[in-house]
C-alpha cells in the first residue's frame, strides 16, 4: 500500500521503534502481528516519538505515593502537541492515498483536533478548512489564535449544535465534490477505527520505555471523550498481552455510553487490521464516569483544583476539558488507595485551548499547591 513520507525516508525500523523495543520485553508474536498490520496501512509521519516518560516527583510528595509517572503526548512535536497527532498520521495517510486535495474538520472554537489538523496540513501542504460552531470573536485567543497564525481557512457558524455543525460539514463536502475537488472529512473528532490505530502501538512504545528506564507501571490513566484514544490504547494493550490496567476517565458521557463508543471503535480497528480483539473487553480495563461532572467542557471543582495545582507542583500545564478531569480522577484513586504499584498519566495535550478557558484569571495569591 502506498506510503507518503516527508523528505528522505528514514529506515523502516525507526518507524516501528516502540514495537521493536517491545519485542525484547514480551516476545515477538503479538508485536510482529501488530507491526505487520500497521505497516500495511497508509501513514504520514508527523510526530516525534517516543514521547517522553518521566516521574512526577512533586505529585508523589504531595500525595505520599511513590511511583507516579507521566507520558508526555502533549510533546508530540507538531503545533501545540497532543494526542490527536497519532491519529492524524493514519487519517491523513488515508487522505493522501485517496489523493484528497482538501481536508475538512470541525469542532468547537477551542478544538485541539482542529488546530493539530491545521498544523499537520501545513506540514503536508494540504489545504484545510476548519468549521466551528461558535461566533468569530476579537481578539481571538487560544487555539483560534494559533489557527489564524497558521493561515487556516476557518468557517464560523455561530452558536449551533454539534449535529448542525456536522450537517454543514457534509454539505460543504458535497459542494466541493460537485466542483471536481476531492475533499477528505475527518469526522467525529477523529474517532474511528483508522484514527484509533494511532494509539494501538503506544502500549509497545510505553513498554519499551519502562524497560529501558527501569520504571514499574501497573495502571495507565487516559481521557475518554469520543473514545478514540481510549479505544486504541485498550486495543493495543489487549493485542500485546495486557501489560497494563487501563483506567479510562470519562470527561463527557456516562459509563455505558462511553463503553459503547469504545467497543464500536475497536470493532472498526479490527476490520482494518484483521486482528480480532483477544479475550474479554473488561479484563484489565476500567471505564469510570465519576469525574465527568455535567459533561464535556463543564468544569468541576476537582478539575479546577487540579488545573491550578498541577503546574505549581510539576511545571506542566493541563486544561479544563480533558486533562484536568483525568488528573483529578487519578489523584482521587491514589488518595483512596485504589491503585497498586506505579501509575501513569497519559497527557493528551490541550495547552493551546487553556488560553481560552479562563474568563477571569486566577488570583495572584494562589500558589498552585
- Which of these three, 162, 190, 218, is where a domain ends? 190
Of 52, 110, 43, residue with least CA distance to 76: 52
Same domain as 344, residue 245:
yes
Same domain as 71, residue 118:
no
pLDDT tens, the chain, 369 aa long: 323 333 333 333 333 444 444 444 344 577 788 889 999 999 999 999 999 999 999 999 999 999 999 999 999 999 999 999 999 999 999 999 999 999 999 999 999 999 999 999 999 999 999 999 999 988 899 999 999 999 999 999 999 999 999 999 999 999 999 999 999 999 999 999 999 999 998 999 999 999 999 999 999 999 999 999 999 999 999 999 999 999 999 999 999 999 999 999 999 999 999 999 998 999 999 999 999 998 777 789 999 999 999 999 999 999 989 999 999 999 999 999 999 899 999 999 998 888 887 765 666 554 444
- Which of these three, 150, 169, 190, is where a domain ends? 190
Q: Is the pTM for the entire model greater than 0.75?
A: yes
- Cα(366)–Cα(311) distance, integer angstroms: 12
- Total domains, the chain: 2
Same domain as 198, residue 184:
no
Same domain as 131, residue 41:
no
* DSSP letter assigned to residue 82: B
Of 250, 339, 338, 351, residue with least CA distance to 300: 250
Same domain as 337, residue 202:
yes
Alpha-carbon torsion, ordered 226, 315, 148, 100, to 10 deg:
-40
Same domain as 222, residue 320:
yes
Same domain as 244, residue 111:
no
Instruction: Tell me if 286 is assigned to some domain.
Output: yes
Same domain as 161, residue 257:
no
Instruction: Tell me if 362 is assigned to some domain.
Output: no
What CATH number does residue 112 fall under?
3.40.50.1100
Same domain as 274, residue 241:
yes
Same domain as 181, residue 204:
no
Q: Domain residues for 216?
A: 12-81+193-354
Amino acid at each position: 500500500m502506498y506510503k507518503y513520507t516527508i523528505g528522505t525516508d528514514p529506515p523502516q525500523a525507526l518507524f516501528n521503534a516502540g514495537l521493536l523495543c517491545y519485542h525484547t520485553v514480551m516476545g515477538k508474536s503479538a508485536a510482529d502481528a501488530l507491526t505487520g498490520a500497521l505497516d500495511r496501512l497508509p501513514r504520514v509521519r508527523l510526530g516525534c516519538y517516543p514521547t517522553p516518560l518521566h516521574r512526577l516527583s512533586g505529585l508523589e510528595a504531595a500525595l505520599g505515593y511513590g511511583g507516579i509517572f507521566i507520558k508526555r503526548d502533549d510533546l508530540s512535536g507538531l503545533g501545540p502537541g497532543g494526542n490527536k497527532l497519532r491519529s492524524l498520521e493514519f487519517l491523513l495517510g488515508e487522505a493522501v492515498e485517496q489523493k484528497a486535495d482538501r481536508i475538512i474538520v470541525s469542532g468547537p472554537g477551542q478544538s485541539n483536533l482542529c488546530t493539530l489538523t491545521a498544523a499537520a496540513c501545513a506540514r503536508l501542504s494540504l489545504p484545510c478548512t476548519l468549521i466551528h460552531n461558535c461566533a468569530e470573536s476579537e481578539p481571538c485567543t487560544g487555539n483560534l489564535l494559533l489557527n489564524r497564525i497558521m493561515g487556516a481557512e476557518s468557517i464560523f457558524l455561530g452558536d449551533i449544535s454539534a449535529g448542525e455543525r456536522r450537517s454543514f460539514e457534509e454539505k460543504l463536502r458535497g459542494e466541493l465534490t460537485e466542483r471536481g475537488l476531492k475533499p477528505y472529512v475527518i469526522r467525529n473528532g477523529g474517532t474511528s477505527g483508522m484514527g484509533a490505530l494511532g494509539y494501538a502501538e503506544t502500549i509497545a512504545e510505553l513498554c519499551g520505555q519502562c524497560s529501558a528506564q527501569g520504571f514499574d507501571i501497573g495502571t495507565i490513566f487516559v481521557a475518554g471523550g469520543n473514545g478514540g484514544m481510549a479505544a486504541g490504547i485498550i486495543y493495543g494493550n489487549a493485542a500485546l498481552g495486557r501489560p497494563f490496567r487501563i483506567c479510562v476517565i470519562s470527561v463527557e458521557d456516562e459509563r455505558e455510553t462511553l463503553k459503547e463508543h469504545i467497543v464500536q471503535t475497536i470493532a472498526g480497528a479490527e476490520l482494518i487490521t484483521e486482528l480480532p480483539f483477544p479475550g474479554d473487553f473488561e479484563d484489565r480495563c476500567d471505564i469510570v464516569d465519576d469525574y465527568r461532572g455535567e459533561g464535556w467542557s463543564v468544569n468541576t471543582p476537582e478539575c479546577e483544583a487540579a488545573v491550578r495545582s498541577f503546574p505549581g507542583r510539576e511545571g506542566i500545564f493541563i486544561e479544563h476539558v480533558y486533562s484536568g478531569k483525568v488528573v483529578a480522577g487519578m489523584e482521587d484513586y491514589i488518595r483512596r488507595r485504589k491503585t497498586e504499584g506505579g501509575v501513569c498519566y497519559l497527557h493528551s495535550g490541550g495547552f493551546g485551548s487553556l488560553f481560552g478557558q479562563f474568563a477571569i484569571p486566577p488570583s495572584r495569591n494562589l500558589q498552585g499547591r
